[in-house]
Amino acid sequence: MGVEEVARETLGRIRARGTYRRMRVLEGALGPRMRVDGRDVLLFAGSNYLDLAHHPEVVEASVRAARDTGCAAGGSRLINGNLDGHEALEAELAEFLGVPAALAFGTGYMANVGVIPALVGPDDLLISDQLNHASIVDGARLSRAEVRVFPHGDLDALDGILSGAGPSHGRSHRSRRVLVMTDGVYSMDGDVAPVAELAALCCHHGAMFLLDDAHGIGTLGSGGRGSAEHSGCDGGSDVLVGTLGKSLGSFGAFVAGSSALRDLLVNVARSFIFSCALAPPQVEAARAALRVLRAEPWRRQALQENAARLRTRLSAAGVSTRPSTTHIVPVVIGDSAETMRVCEALLDRGFYAQGIRHPSVAEGTARLRITPMATHRPEEIDALADAVVELVEPSHVGVADRDPDRKAEPICRSAESSGPAA
């Protein structure tokens, strides 16, 4: 069977179940208003939460780096790509987060598939929240460790698994390593993990704790340090994974923690060793964005106020956004076709809020995933809410109030359904 036959067969199954995807075309500067598929719309479907991607200081830093240093690092960090800008960015991230060290990766996906196999392997145990991001799932597969999945946010279930985590039955020269992994802010539901309680359980049982806070860094906490600071246990994880491409308006990701962790990753993380380093314009954009983030806390406050305004207005009209408490605001419709109908109708009205379907979310929980920005105006938030109510309310009042039985993503899926969970 050739490539064309494989593509037709697989895509035919995807179309038959109503989950065929296509890429939309966006034009203009990334911000609260853009042109999407030829229409001028308000953008409520991105992760540029603080509107820093086109901030003048961020753009100027990137332009200056391109002019002075070039548009590429020219190699991997272990050969010729370790520029002084990389070291400066990592030091600044570590200082901001209050940890000894950080290491930049090409993407958040690369960070997770690099750090997880670096910490555990065969004979070890990984414990993962059932709604963790696809990159955590794939990092777990690559590690070849035993994987146990606990119901979303269920601390008692996690405690039970940790209590029964026995010694390794393989190599007798060391005890079994145990790694607990969780998102900080869940990318499809907008709820925050109980980070303080998770950290305490891991400490009690002697397990390592990995926190992927891609959507929390910059948006939560009094200083913008994310879901751990928001939960009152700043620095509570052993491993913190974050991104440069969301709140920080650039591109790339990082792993933060101890100096020993950084040294370990430099030596064994394949997605770091065998990848070209971040380009200087990306690095300097992230450094500038970090400075703006610290100097302008109003952005973080405005983001959460906009999200709260949206949730309140939708709730008052009978449209549930549970369990969101953050800037990720889901409106669960259930049926995939109906969800995409509403998504397209919103585009016609001048709003882009993307519909999300299986396999990014469980079957029967298709939803609008609405992400306001810090710079959306109150009247724009209200107009979006009114449009959602108009389109969803007539036949779907109360749909989002149901609590569907969300099942854990299997650790071994077919290639056909291994799309990203974002």
Q: Which residues are catalytic?
A: 187, 215, 246
Distance (Å, rounded) from C-alpha 298 to C-alpha 300?
5
The CA-atom distances, in angstroms, between 71 and each of 65, 316, 360 are 8, 49, 33
Where are the extended beta strands (E) located within 14-131? Answer: 26-27, 33-36, 39-43, 101-105, 125-129
Distance (Å, rounded) from C-alpha 72 to C-alpha 152?
41
Kind plus residue range of the DSSP H or E element containing 178: strand 178-183
Kind plus residue range of the DSSP H or E element containing 166: none
Question: For residue 3, how many other CB atoms are within 10 A of its CB?
Answer: 7
At CB < 8 A and 24+ separation, what contacts does 113-116 make? 113/138, 113/139, 113/142, 113/271, 114/139, 114/255, 114/265, 114/269, 114/270, 114/271, 114/272, 115/139, 115/210, 115/239, 115/241, 115/255, 115/265, 115/269, 116/140, 116/142, 116/143, 116/179, 116/181, 116/210
Q: For CA atoms 20, 327, 130, 266, give the dihedral sign.
A: positive
**289: which 2 tokens?**
């964005």
Give the pairing type, strands 39-43 and 33-36.
antiparallel
Distance (Å, rounded) from C-alpha 64 to C-alpha 90?
19
Q: Are the CB atoms for 251 and 222 separated by under 8 Å?
A: no
Q: Are the CB atoms for 182 and 192 separated by under 8 Å?
A: no
**79: which 2 tokens?**
């050969």
Distance (Å, rounded) from C-alpha 184 to C-alpha 328?
12
